[in-house]
Amino acid sequence: MENCACPPSAAIPDIPEDSCPENFGQIYKFLVGRQKNQIAADTTEALLQATYELLLAATDITKIQLTPELEGFVFPQGEAIKEGGDDNSTPLGRALVVGASTIQVEGMVRNVSSATIKALRGLGCYKLDIVLINEFGQIILNKNEDDTLRGFPIHAWYEGDKGAEGKNTQDKAKIVFGLDAGWRDNAVIVSPTDWDPRFDLSNESDS
């Protein structure tokens, strides 16, 4: 449920006009780092390849890692949590919105090594932020109140064992995590033009 000001303002809030559609598209990779670490000071810095290369090469708390290619990731729509409705538990039998659901995200990686799976599973020991890289080579970040950019905070990261389904199949492993309601309220999409984050970034150990 929205944390509403009390009393609310006399005028209801403005709804901005949309000059461009916002579409995340297919998520291709994640950049993963420890929670609350800044990625970029502003959108100009967020467009630079060097911004991410510096963090990928770091050896301290600021370090980020790049996942393998991802498949099948779906970010479900949020749902209202309601109480009552057409019964005697609420005034006039009207359902009350008392909260909002967390978002349970699930996808997979294909044909990656056992060592990679083990390392991905180890991320579950940390409080994590993720930055999204989509099919269009765009980077999707989360804006702070001071306009700096970081990742989206996630919880309950889980990397499963690889399955092996036999002939004419390829081995896959599931990744699951949660996002809080309202997770994309402050999303910012940046579109680099002189480099492609899908293909031009690598983990320091891969270089």
- Rounded to two decimals, the pTM is 0.92
Torsion angle of alpha carbons 65, 45, 186, 127, nearest 10°?
30
pLDDT at 1: 57
- 205 confidence band (pLDDT: 50, 70, 90): low
HSE-CB for 204 with a 13 A CA cutoff = 11
Q: Mark 146-167 as b/e (b = at least 16 C-beta within 10 Å).
A: eebbbbbbbeebebeebeeeee
Query: Is residue 9 one of the residues assigned to a domain?
Result: no
Contact between 105 and 132 under an 8 Å Cβ cutoff? The reply is no
Query: Is residue 191 one of the residues assigned to a domain?
Result: yes
Contact between 33 and 152 under an 8 Å Cβ cutoff? The reply is no
Q: Is the pLDDT of residue 175 over 70?
A: yes
Look at residue 121 and give its three-state secondary structure. helix
Average pLDDT over the chain, rounded to whole? 94
- 2 confidence band (pLDDT: 50, 70, 90): low
What domain count does the chain have?
1
Query: Is residue 16 one of the residues assigned to a domain?
Result: no
Q: Is the pLDDT of residue 95 over 70?
A: yes
Look at residue 28 and give its three-state secondary structure. strand
Contact between 190 and 46 under an 8 Å Cβ cutoff? The reply is yes
How far from 81 is each of 70, 96, 98, 150, CA to CA, in Å? 30, 8, 6, 28
- 18 confidence band (pLDDT: 50, 70, 90): confident
pLDDT at 145: 92
Q: Is the dihedral of CA 118, 120, 121, 125 positive or negative?
A: positive
Query: Is residue 6 one of the residues assigned to a domain?
Result: no
Query: Is residue 97 one of the residues assigned to a domain?
Result: yes
Q: What whole-number distance in Å separates Cα of residue 112 and Cα of residue 171? A: 8
Q: Is the pLDDT of residue 17 over 90?
A: no
Look at residue 106 and give its three-state secondary structure. strand
pLDDT at 23: 94
Q: Is the dihedral of CA 110, 128, 157, 176 positive or negative?
A: negative
- 196 confidence band (pLDDT: 50, 70, 90): very high
Over residues 14-32, mean pLDDT: 93
Query: Is residue 150 one of the residues assigned to a domain?
Result: yes
**pLDDT tens-digit map of 33-81:** 999 999 999 999 999 999 999 999 999 999 999 999 999 999 999 999 9
**pLDDT tens-digit map of 115-142:** 999 999 999 999 999 999 999 999 999 9
185: domain range? 27-206
Query: Is residue 10 one of the residues assigned to a domain?
Result: no
Query: Is residue 74 one of the residues assigned to a domain?
Result: yes
Q: Is the pLDDT of residue 193 over 90?
A: yes
